[in-house]
Every structure is written in structure tokens, then in C-alpha cells.
Structure 1
Amino acid sequence: MTSTSPARIDDDLYASAKLVGEALSRSASQQVGHWARIGRELEASATTSQRDIAAVLAGARRYDTLSAQEQAIVRAEWSERMDERRAALDLAATFTASGASYSELDDDGNVVQHPPAAPGG
């Protein structure tokens, strides 16, 4: 009998697992487990060089020198890093603190212009 342990995953990953899992007759949990097993096998694969992947991620090697399989791993890592950076951004606070004006779209797609913050406030 297989035992399971609870794990927290982000909402985007869960939503993707649910969508893909439904198409493949798996639950979201089963899909995440499937992806985890694939990742484990990729990392253990003799044809996948973790050192080469790490070198590309560090900017010390060209992406084009990797195999298609290794490129897929790098793209997944880049995507995760970009998502984390976007989530950490608070551009409104940055622009306001610097006294700069900025524009953004509201939920209806209308342009909203924010003038520079008044000095001291």
C-alpha cells in the first residue's frame, strides 16, 4: 500500500494539474504526482546534465547547446523564476515613492492615469 503526504502547491500549478488531469482521467493530485515522477526521472537521467542546466541558468553557458529535454527543464525553471518575480512586484508603490506618474488598465480595460504623488505624501 502506498502512503501519501500532504504538500502545498501554488494555485496555478493546481489549476493546470486539474485541467490536464481531467483530460487524462487523473485527479489533480494524481497529475501532480505524475509530473513529479517525470521530473525525478529527468533529473536522474544519464542524458540530462544537471551541471549543464545549472550553467545555463547561471548565464555561464548558451541555452542552444542543451538537448531539447534539457531546454525544456530550463524553460520551466525560467517560467517559475519569472512568475516569482512578477508576484513580488509592487510597481504602484515604487512609482509613488519615487514621485513618478504612471498609467495602468483597470479591470474593464480602461486606462487609468496616476499623477505623481505630492511631495511628502
Structure 2
Amino acid sequence: MSRSSQPTRLPADVYESASVAARVTSRTVPQQIAHWARIGRELEMSPQVSHRDVARVLAGTGSYDELSGQEQAVVRQEWADRMAALRSTLDYASAFSAGGESYSELDEDGNVVIRSAG
């Protein structure tokens, strides 16, 4: 008898990262963790992608230009995921309001809207 899921303990930082990424990608936290696990499994099993080289580039100790095209794609996706997670934590509207500053932004139609302080 196989299970569709099994309880697993995760480090808090992994859960929090998955929670942030899940909001950005419209997934649940378990779906996000499963997504990351599938990507990791495929990376580790791929003879065309060196997990070690990709990890070095992501850590800032390797050269992006020395990676294969597939490895560069993996790195670019990870960078995009990290940036999306960081952007989801930003709240400039609250920061500007708290500082008593007005600011400008674009609405859904691309028109400039000026938000006044307070």
C-alpha cells in the first residue's frame, strides 16, 4: 500500500523559504517543497548538469560562464526564484507611509499614480 504523502520534519528555514516562494508561485507550501524536491532529484540524476558546479556558482565561488547551457538555465531559474522570494517580502508602500513620503507607481494600465504621504 503506497501513500500519497508522508509526514516529514523540515528545518524551519526551509519551511519559511518554501512559504515565501509558495505565495509567489501560487502553490501551497507542500506543493512548493515537492516542486523543489523534483527539481533537485532531476539535477542530481542528470549526467548533463553538474550539481557541484551549479552550487559553486550559486554560492559565488564559481564562474557562470564556464557552465554548460543547461547548467546556466538551472542557475538562472534559481536566481529568478530567489529574486521573486525577496520581492514578495518588500512592502514599499508601508515603508514610505511610515516615513511620511509620497511615491509614484504604475497602475495595471501603465499609468503613473502618485500616492501621497499618510
**TM-score bucket (shorter structure):** 0.5 to 0.7
Query: Following TM superposition, where does structure 1 have runs of at least 4 consecutive aligned residues deviating by more than 6 angstroms?
Result: none
State the Cα RMSD in Å: 3.3
Q: Distance in 2 between matches of 1:2 and 1:106?
A: 49
Alignment pair present for 1:70 and 2:71: yes
Instruction: After TM superposition, give the deviation of residue 102 of structure 1 in Å.
Output: 0.8
CA deviation string 1:4-35 (max 9, x = no partner): 228x9937366xxxxxxxxxxxxxx9xx88x9
Q: TM-score, normalised by structure 2?
A: 0.61
- Tell me how far apart the structure 1 counterparts of residues 110 and 46 of structure 2 sit (CA, whole Å): 47
Q: Give the 3-state SS of the residue equivalent to 1:40 in structure 2.
A: helix
State the structure with more CA Rg: 1
| 1:5 equivalent in structure 2 | 5
1:57 maps to amino acid: L
Amino acid at match of 2:84: D
Name the residue aligned to 1:92: 93
Local SS of the residue matching 2:49: coil
Give the C-alpha shift of residue 78 in structure 1: 0.9
The secondary structure found in structure 2 opposite 1:113 is: strand
Q: Check 1:107–1:45 CA distance in 2 against 1; reply closer, same or farther (3 A cut).
A: closer
1:30-69 mapped onto 2 (5 Å cutoff): 36=38, 39-69=40-70
Identity of aligned residues (%): 50
